[in-house]
Amino acid sequence: MGGSAAKRRIVYQIYPKSFYDSDQDGIGDLKGITAKLDYLKALGVNTLWLNPIYASPQIDNGYDVSDYYQLDPTFGTGDDFAELVKQVHAKGMELILDLVLNHTSDQHPWFKEALKDKQSKYRDYYIWQEAPAGKLPNNWGSFFGGSVWQADPTTKNNYYFHLFAKEMPDLNWKNPAVREEMYQVAKFWLAQGIDGFRLDAFIHIAKADLAQNVLADSDSPQIAEMFYANLPAVKTYLAEFIGRLRQEKPDIFILGEAASADIDLAVTYTTPEKKACDTVVTFRYFTDDESYLDQELPRIGQLLPLDLKAFRTNMLEWQKRLEGVSYPTLYWSNHDLPRIVTRFAPKKAPEKAAKMLATLMYLQRGIPCIYYGEELGMRSAFLPDLASFEDEQIIDFATKAQAKGKTPEEILKMASQAHKMAARTPLRWDDSDFGGFSSVLPWKWGQETSASIKAQIADEKSVLSFYQQVLALKQTDLFIDGRFILENTEPELYVYRRILAGKEALVLCNLSEHPQTVALSAPGKVCLSSNAKVHEKSVTLKEYGCLVLMREGI
């Protein structure tokens, strides 16, 4: 299904810790995924993406890899993985793994050797810089807070570079040996039968001149993406890496995480002749409505609504600029974002909103990427305490919010709505204790009110049932290959057409809580509907209503 067939993929992102616990230790595992493949097949997805399952100290939930060739024992054994691959393929689906390219754990043997011996070849596997006593090499800031520099405990005035947590030192991709090592890792997992990779944070594998400071008025570390994101060398490294993988497996599927990439970079990162990704995920779709931001509080604890006008403009640009190049990734949520129903409709009609959002996003031109539980209308959970967020930046948010008079409960609610960790809680399979995910307290648990899988399977009007209908439509040629035309409407409406071989689908979505009426130029056959009513020459979309009309012979 790789190469030109990538456009037919419907990806389902599994956060393994939270999918299903087969051995009742509170943590999801590989056997748990294997046990639920029939559910995924019935949903209508065909490609499963697993967040990292490699050996890890779990400082960053598996993105800190201590051994790329070993599974973390909490997820199971090599035999468990082999059985998962076998069963995924037997059901006509494919499996891709998250591959962490930018950094390792500080517990990785390479880094341990680099610390032990400054003359070791592994020293140059990482990024080091000296600085005068009492100073850092530069003022660049880490995405996880503080500086990107951490003192080498074995060498005076020497520092290693970490773009994320200090326990996650960045690899030096300038070193050909590092590039060879990462190719060998990928080759190993392809030999285990997997079908591709999601390339984590690949846009950061090249860094600029380490002597350059960010010009800023403040002495505090500064986020400096111009120096460590989307640099020209990224394209060089990517082409070499993917080119070699496509020689190994011509139909490999590559999903790249290009969080801050603009549309021009997305074209570069997905142009086939450039030995590139099949598709990339960008955070550029979603523009926050800054008018709701409290400037006196850290942004990390504040849930901001979408700027709907900007969203329409962003989506139109990505839809049209990638025509003839590649297929954009279509997604609402992932493990780094609050869940979309919480962000979009935390109070009123969440199930209706979930159905509308699925219709809006996944019937556009592109490759759906559905975050586990999204098909249930799952919301971000209300986490019980600040420690549950596992983030020092939330502690800072809470301190400042408390100083402004917020109560502990208000602070927890704000953080739970805005923070990524509240979007990583276990899937609810039934209505028993802990949602049928496990018989013991899960690794992460919080209050979440969407209906369980068992309840939704029994309800033909459920969000789950609606997702099955959306994905069935998505597998038709019209919604894969059809031209995309976005209509010019007011911001609270999202209306587009898909056109192919004399057929046209008109997709109408109401992004608001109040009814909207849309005039129809011609009648059509209703093939999908939620909270909508068709009149002779118009359609009424009630709160979060949506409708798909099919026309032929155009």
DSSP state of 52: P
CA angle 14, 15, 19 (to 5 degrees): 80
What is the rounded CA–CA span in Å between residue 108 and residue 418? 32
- Would you say 311 and 286 are in contact if contact means Cβ atoms under 8 Å apart? yes
Catalytic residue among 21, 72, 200, 375: 200
What is the rounded CA–CA span in Å between residue 133 and residue 118? 19
For residue 540, what is the enclosing H or E element? strand 538-552
Q: SS3 for 14? A: strand
What is the rounded CA–CA span in Å between residue 518 and residue 499? 20
Q: SS3 for 36? A: coil
49 token code pair? 């993406």
Task: Convert 191-214 to b/e letters by CB count within 10 Å (16 or more is b).
Answer: eeebbbbbbbbbbbbbbeebeeee
Distances (CA, A) of 127 to 133, 215, 441, 516: 19, 22, 40, 56
Catalytic residue among 94, 257, 278, 351: 257
> Is 5 buried (19+), middle (13-18) or exposed (0-12) by CB count in 10 A?
exposed
- Bridge partners of 402, per DSSP, are none
Please confirm, yes or no, whether 257 is among the known catalytic residues: yes
* Phi, psi at 37, each rounded to 5°: -65, -30
What is the rounded CA–CA span in Å between residue 230 and residue 321? 19
What is the rounded CA–CA span in Å between residue 420 and residue 5? 32
Three-state secondary structure along 181-231? HHHHHHHHHHHCCCCEEEEECHHHCCCCCCCCCCCCCCCCCEECHHHHCCC
What is the rounded CA–CA span in Å between residue 294 and residue 392? 20
> Hey, which residues are catalytic here?
200, 257
